[in-house]
Chains A and B, each alone.
Chain A
């Protein structure tokens, strides 16, 4: 079913807040620990909606939590448009393709942490789809 992509920064933030809640259920504790060991904060920037959100690893949880803003520098910054995120979530593109074509930019990802980062992507997109369906009432 076609979902309406978020039209405003606030809508996107709400969907991503719920995405992070759902993501915690999809990752098992060892996966969460691996992510926490690699990244304290992942900042997601959506320049088209002038919005940024943060995925913060709770080191004691282990758990991930959503934060509109954080103090200090993020471990990794991911930049894309909200359309690219929506396209990746619904299979119209992929993060890999978006990266290669310059639609997704990654800063600060240490090459040796790639495995830990990659393991989070599919569950993240699945969570986003669920969150979006909830938001659209479908």
Chain B
């Protein structure tokens, strides 16, 4: 196990953005990612960018921002390149209801998440290039970075090359989006989906549980609840810690916090039972890779989201942490920027 020198990485020099000139790019779904990519493509290419959308608030926003708007099927029928950017759980329905029958032979269909391809929830359409461009960045930040002439990392793959031109198209998209200023790694849809779910299900729960547990223990020890939340995330210091990991390296960033932090962190890390943690992570990755999680999510969707109420209760307004956050935001003017 070690560094992989063979992992393909693409930069600006690998892409020819002019292959998109004169083409029609259809963005299906004008959410955070769809909006950012539509604006970036309009600024970076000589392509015609149009939006396929259902009648909702995002459609109104797209219209206000000057994009031609069509019903989804109508927009796809015009496209040389279609980006399917609706949420994973609704993609199969949109694909079968409005996209598949309208795809032009020789056009390209692009996904920003590998989930439905990885678990065979969407069958590859025939005679069409199928591409994955998966930004590792929050949707609306992609626009901010583009405007600031900064890049972001992404994963790219060609899942089906029907025309022989799939790679030039994909790299032009990654470039026009602004990603290749930083770089794109070649990873398949299956790898992307597995990694994405692994981060959400192996690391995410432990981070969340650690914050909740630390909050409870801190309260038991008489520490002020407002201070606990500020310390753990609300001040923004912790996000800078993660930024430092990204900028300097996971281990190399440790001394940036001073010797007391490094010494305390090291000694307490040694007391953590990593075996327990790893066992739950192994279970998570087993279910992800076997497809058991995807099956369960599909059953949840088909049953009408029976777990949604419980999730809403967990995240809803009726909890102490939300109330303390609101109070602190008001007192400190944290929402004023």
Contact partner of A97 among B292, B307, B318, CB < 8 A? B318
Q: Is A122 in contact with chain B by the CB < 8 A criterion? A: yes
User: Do B309 and A112 have beta carbons less than 8 Å apart?
Assistant: no
Q: Is B2 in contact with chain A by the CB < 8 A criterion? A: no
User: Do B303 and A115 have beta carbons less than 8 Å apart?
Assistant: yes
Q: Known contacts A96-B316, A97-B316, A101-B320: does B296 contact A118 (CB below 8 Å)?
A: no
Q: Known contacts A102-B212, A102-B216, A115-B296: does B306 contact A96 (CB below 8 Å)?
A: no
User: Do B313 and A95 have beta carbons less than 8 Å apart?
Assistant: yes
User: Do B320 and A96 have beta carbons less than 8 Å apart?
Assistant: no
Q: Is B310 in contact with chain A by the CB < 8 A criterion? A: yes
Q: Is A114 in contact with chain B by the CB < 8 A criterion? A: yes
Contact partner of B307 among A94, A102, A118, CB < 8 A? A118
Q: Is B314 in contact with chain A by the CB < 8 A criterion? A: yes
Interface residues on B, range: 20 to 34
User: Do A111 and B284 have beta carbons less than 8 Å apart?
Assistant: yes
User: Do B299 and A115 have beta carbons less than 8 Å apart?
Assistant: yes
Q: Is A100 in contact with chain B by the CB < 8 A criterion? A: yes
Q: How far is the CA of A111 from the CA of B303 in the complex (A)?
A: 17
Residues of B within 8 A of A101 (CB): 216, 319-320
How many A-B residue pairs have C-beta atoms within 8 angstroms? Tell me.
Answer: 55
Summarize A's interface: helix, strand, loop or mixed. helix
**How many of chain A's residues have a CB under 8 angstroms from any CB in B?**
17
- CB-nearest residue of chain B to A121: B310
Q: How far is the CA of A10 from the CA of B320 in the complex (A)?
A: 32
Write the A97-116 contact mask toward B (1 if CB under 8 angstroms, else 0): 10111100000000110110
Residues of B within 8 A of A102 (CB): 212, 216
Q: Is A136 in contact with chain B by the CB < 8 A criterion? A: no
Q: How far is the CA of A95 from the CA of B318 in the complex (A)?
A: 11
- CB-nearest residue of chain B to A92: B318
Per the 8 Å Cβ criterion, residues 286-337 of B in contact with A are 287, 292-293, 296, 299-300, 303, 306-307, 309-316, 318-321
User: Do A118 and B319 have beta carbons less than 8 Å apart?
Assistant: no
Q: How far is the CA of A114 from the CA of B216 in the complex (A)?
A: 24
Per the 8 Å Cβ criterion, residues 237-253 of B in contact with A are none
Q: How far is the CA of A115 from the CA of B311 in the complex (A)?
A: 11
User: Do A96 and B287 have beta carbons less than 8 Å apart?
Assistant: no
Residues of A within 8 A of B303 (CB): 115, 119
Residues of B within 8 A of A115 (CB): 296, 299-300, 303, 306-307
Residues of A within 8 A of B216 (CB): 101-102
Contact partner of A96 among B293, B299, B310, CB < 8 A? B310
Q: Known contacts A97-B314, A102-B212: does B287 contact A112 (CB below 8 Å)?
A: yes
Residues of A within 8 A of B306 (CB): 115, 118-119
Residues of A within 8 A of B313 (CB): 94-97
Q: Known contacts A94-B318, A118-B306: does B212 contact A111 (CB below 8 Å)?
A: no
Q: Known contacts A93-B318, A112-B287: does B299 contact A122 (CB below 8 Å)?
A: no
User: Do A112 and B319 have beta carbons less than 8 Å apart?
Assistant: no
- In this complex, the member of B201, B283, B284, B319 whose beta carbon has the largest number of chain A beta carbons within 10 angstroms is B319
Residues of B within 8 A of A118 (CB): 306-307, 309-310
Residues of A within 8 A of B312 (CB): 96
Closest CB in chain B relative to A109 CB, distance in Å: 11
User: Do B212 and A100 have beta carbons less than 8 Å apart?
Assistant: yes
Q: How far is the CA of A10 from the CA of B293 in the complex (A)?
A: 41
20 A–B contacts, CB within 8 A, in A order: A93-B318, A94-B318, A95-B310, A96-B309, A96-B316, A97-B319, A100-B212, A101-B319, A102-B216, A111-B293, A112-B287, A112-B293, A112-B296, A114-B310, A115-B296, A115-B306, A115-B307, A118-B307, A118-B309, A122-B309
Q: Which residue numbers of B lie inside 8 Å of A, CB to CB?
A: 201, 212, 216, 283-284, 287, 292-293, 296, 299-300, 303, 306-307, 309-316, 318-321
